[in-house]
């Protein structure tokens, strides 16, 4: 049927197996649309049953729904069947009830959560048998009251922006797709899903992402034809693209990449039906999700020392789960004990900022440093004043912090770590990292002037997309960009691509790629590798750009040393031909 009416489907007809609907926006166009339909019917020798046909009507039943000018309404016969149904007395009656609820689930908000008692009866039938409780009876009565005035579903216009609300509970997840009509939000489709046993143990962020993926799968035609704005209180875009995302989140991010989805904070609800949907679908307090480490205190111990062998600093950073980060600094410049203490404090604060710590407690055995930071002592020394100014500028980036003085005997491990930093590197381990600092931190980073490239780098569109900027006007290009962005993320304003092994590779621009090729191929440790080996080595070092294999091969072919010392092939270009003598 779809092949026969392919020229009219979605224009003036809708066809599903043997159900046909001829539609017209204007009454004067209806006869012309009917004529086109009957012409095709005569062409293929098809006949219609007059008793099942209706012409010139403003509403009618199609695929079990009532289609009207106002929108889509539930089938009155299905509603009547539920309203006249008596309370179930057996498992078969409960199955019949659940089937009727499923048939109307498009019009029912939160079916998986509201009517969970009915589904629990079937789940526990093997162990406890049929049990119709008071909770089931009250839920059954509330269902009948709700069906007395079911919501009217709207139809989106082509190209219209749609909005998706998500809500999760410990046992189910729900969503509703809506459109904005004159400032009023009209529902288009209600969805609900009961979580399996394993899914109930997902973190709240993963449950919300699952609700989005479930909605995209069920409402795929809507997601393909429209821009969908997801309204949620959680940072879903960050959750799906964060570097430490789990395997299922990465899989879901790739699946959602083909759609034009935007994430917005939930605003004022402009519909009472939707307001009830949101209010009744709130997680209990113990299940609410919060940003990582918010409301939890991290602990930082710092110490610095200066001796005959040089100056060093050590720090220990504990997260709320008491996982320890050990860090040592070897100062390659002359430094006093106070300067070493400040270097340890600055390094610890920077490490905490990189871990996105919101609450931090700092312990130091230097009474001078602690008192200067708290404002009790004045920094009269010019160098210490510069250190103090730098520390205060860094602490501004941590919302809640406190610094406390502890006796030296309680800071033994940090003191040993600071002294270890000045010793031989043979005692360093992977957990106990020691870094060399060539210049004091108060000198700041070297200023580098970036020269704008003549052509826009291939990373610019991806960075703009990940920052939420305006997508390209070309729909194909925008979709291609969204697909590429699913495996990319921004870390400290730098673009990284997730590899198949789950590692993040830094994306290089054209100028940086040329520098990487030159250094790896003919630098200090260069081995003048071949094209494929050169590309693989750069990839193992943690760098990536799309054309690295091609450019690596071309770079090797242009290398003068490789061409001069390469083996000259002696094999003839064609196969030898045997000659027979007379």
What is the extent of the structural domain holding 380? 297-443
Among the ranges given (131-135, 220-224, 284-288, 539-543), the one the predictor scored with the smallest mean pLDDT = 284-288
Assess if residue 70 is contained within a domain.
Answer: no
Q: Is 308 left (phi over 0), alpha (psi -120 to 50) or beta?
A: alpha
Residues 301 and 439 in one domain: yes
Q: How far apart are CA 352 and CA 360, in angstroms?
A: 8
Rg (CA), the chain: 34
* CATH number of the CATH domain containing 474: 1.10.340.70
Assess if residue 451 is contained within a domain.
Answer: no
Domain limit, last residue, from 287, 305, 340: 287
Mean pLDDT of the chain: 79
- Residue 281 is predicted with a pLDDT of 44
CB neighbourhood size of 212 (10 A)? 24
> Nearest-CA neighbor of 250 among 237, 240, 238?
240
CB neighbourhood size of 100 (10 A)? 16
> CA angle, 20 as apex, 14 and 25 as ends, to 5°?
50
CB neighbourhood size of 153 (10 A)? 20
CA distances, 370 to each of 298, 304, 331, 373, 379 (Å) = 18, 13, 21, 5, 11
Q: How many CA atoms lie within 13 A of 230 on its CB side?
A: 23
Q: Which residue in this structure is represented by tokens 């960050």?
A: 238
Residues 19 and 141 in one domain: no
> Nearest-CA neighbor of 387 among 363, 369, 366?
369
Query: What pTM does this model have?
Result: 0.54
Assess if residue 62 is contained within a domain.
Answer: no
pLDDT band at 288 (very low <50, low <70, confident <90, very high): very low
Domain limit, last residue, from 218, 252, 287: 287
CB-based burial label for 216 (10 Å; 0-12, 13-18, 19+): buried
Among the ranges given (192-201, 405-414, 427-436), the one the predictor scored with the smallest mean pLDDT = 427-436
Decide if pLDDT at 276 tops 70. Answer: no
Beta strands (DSSP E) in 406-534 are: 432-437, 488-491, 494-498, 504-507
pLDDT band at 419 (very low <50, low <70, confident <90, very high): low
Each residue's pLDDT tens digit, 53-103: 888 887 777 777 777 777 788 777 888 888 888 888 888 888 888 888 888
- Mean of pLDDT values over 482-487: 82
Assess if residue 558 is contained within a domain.
Answer: yes
Assess if residue 45 is contained within a domain.
Answer: yes
Among the ranges given (48-57, 187-196, 303-312), the one the predictor scored with the smallest mean pLDDT = 303-312
Each residue's pLDDT tens digit, 300-336: 888 888 777 778 888 888 887 777 778 788 888 888 8
533/564: higher pLDDT: 533
* CATH number of the CATH domain containing 247: 3.10.20.370
Among the ranges given (38-52, 57-71, 128-142), the one the predictor scored with the smallest mean pLDDT = 57-71
Domain limit, last residue, from 264, 287, 310: 287
Each residue's pLDDT tens digit, 145-175: 877 777 788 888 888 899 998 888 888 888 8
CA distances, 581 to each of 43, 574, 578 (Å) = 77, 22, 10
Report the DSSP pairing between strands 504-507 and 494-498.
Answer: antiparallel
- Determine contact, residues 190/230, Cβ cutoff 8 Å: no
- Residue 544 is predicted with a pLDDT of 92
- Residue 397 is predicted with a pLDDT of 87
- Residue 549 is predicted with a pLDDT of 92
Residues 81 and 210 in one domain: no
- Residue 430 is predicted with a pLDDT of 41
Assess if residue 365 is contained within a domain.
Answer: yes
pLDDT band at 543 (very low <50, low <70, confident <90, very high): very high
Helices in 487-566 by DSSP H: which ranges? Answer: 510-522, 531-540, 548-558, 560-565
DSSP for 111-177? HHHHTHHHHHHHHTHHHH-----HHHHHHHHHHHHHHTSPPPBP-PPTT--EEEEEEE-SSEEEEEE
- Residue 215 is predicted with a pLDDT of 92
Total of domains in the chain: 5
């Amino acid at each position: 049927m779809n092949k026969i009416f392919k020229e009219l489907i979605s224009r003036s007809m809708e066809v599903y197996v043997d159900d046909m609907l001829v539609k017209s926006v204007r009454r004067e166009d209806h006869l012309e649309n009917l004529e086109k339909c009957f012409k095709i019917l005569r062409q293929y020798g098809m006949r219609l049953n007059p008793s099942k046909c209706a012409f010139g009507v403003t509403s009618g039943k199609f695929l079990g729904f009532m289609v009207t000018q106002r929108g889509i309404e539930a089938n009155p016969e299905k509603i009547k069947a539920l309203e006249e149904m008596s309370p179930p007395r057996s498992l078969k009656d409960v199955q019949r009830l659940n089937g009727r609820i499923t048939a109307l689930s498009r019009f029912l908000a939160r079916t998986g959560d509201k009517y969970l008692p009915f589904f629990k009866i079937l789940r526990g039938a093997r162990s406890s048998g049929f049990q119709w409780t008071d909770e089931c009876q009250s839920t059954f009565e509330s269902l009948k009251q709700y069906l007395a005035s079911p919501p009217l579903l709207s139809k989106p216009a082509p190209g219209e922006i749609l909005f998706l609300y998500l809500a999760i509970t410990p046992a189910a997840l729900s969503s509703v797709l809506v459109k904005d009509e004159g400032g009023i939000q009209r529902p288009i489709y209600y969805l609900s899903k009961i979580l399996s046993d394993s899914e109930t143990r997902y973190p709240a962020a993963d449950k919300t992402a699952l609700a989005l993926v479930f909605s995209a799968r069920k409402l795929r035609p809507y997601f393909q034809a429209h821009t969908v704005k997801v309204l949620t209180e959680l940072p879903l875009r960050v959750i799906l693209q964060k570097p430490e995302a789990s395997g299922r989140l990465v899989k879901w991010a790739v699946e959602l990449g083909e759609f034009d989805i935007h994430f917005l904070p939930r605003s004022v609800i402009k519909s009472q039906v939707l307001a009830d949907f949101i209010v009744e679908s709130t997680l209990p307090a113990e299940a609410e999700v919060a940003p990582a480490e918010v409301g939890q205190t991290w602990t930082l111990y710092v110490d610095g020392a200066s001796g005959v062998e040089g100056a060093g600093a050590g720090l220990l950073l504990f997260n709320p789960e008491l996982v320890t980060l050990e860090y040592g600094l070897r100062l390659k410049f002359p430094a006093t004990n106070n300067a070493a203490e400040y270097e340890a404090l600055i390094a610890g604060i920077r490490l905490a900022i990189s871990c996105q710590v919101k609450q931090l407690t700092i312990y130091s055995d230097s009474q001078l440093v602690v008192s200067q930071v708290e404002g009790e002592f004045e920094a009269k020394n010019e160098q210490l004043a510069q250190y103090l100014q730098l520390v205060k500028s860094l602490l501004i980036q941590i919302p809640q912090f406190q610094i406390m003085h502890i006796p030296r005997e309680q800071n033994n491990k940090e003191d040993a770590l600071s002294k270890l930093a000045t010793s031989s590197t043979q005692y360093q381990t992977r957990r106990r990292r020691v870094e060399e600092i060539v210049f004091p931190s108060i000198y700041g980073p070297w200023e580098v002037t970036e020269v704008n490239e003549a052509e826009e780098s291939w990373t610019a569109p991806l960075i703009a997309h990940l920052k939420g900027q305006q997508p390209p006007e070309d729909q194909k290009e925008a979709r291609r960009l969204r697909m590429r962005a699913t495996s990319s993320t921004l870390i400290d304003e730098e673009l990284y691509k997730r590899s198949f092994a789950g590692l993040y590779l830094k994306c290089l621009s054209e100028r940086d790629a040329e520098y990487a090729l030159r250094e790896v191929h003919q630098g200090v440790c260069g081995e003048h590798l071949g094209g494929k080996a050169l590309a693989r080595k750069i990839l193992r070092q943690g760098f990536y750009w799309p054309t690295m294999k091609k450019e690596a091969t071309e770079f090797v072919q242009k290398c003068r040393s490789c061409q001069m010392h390469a083996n000259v092939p002696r094999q003839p270009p064609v196969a030898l031909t045997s000659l027979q003598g007379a």
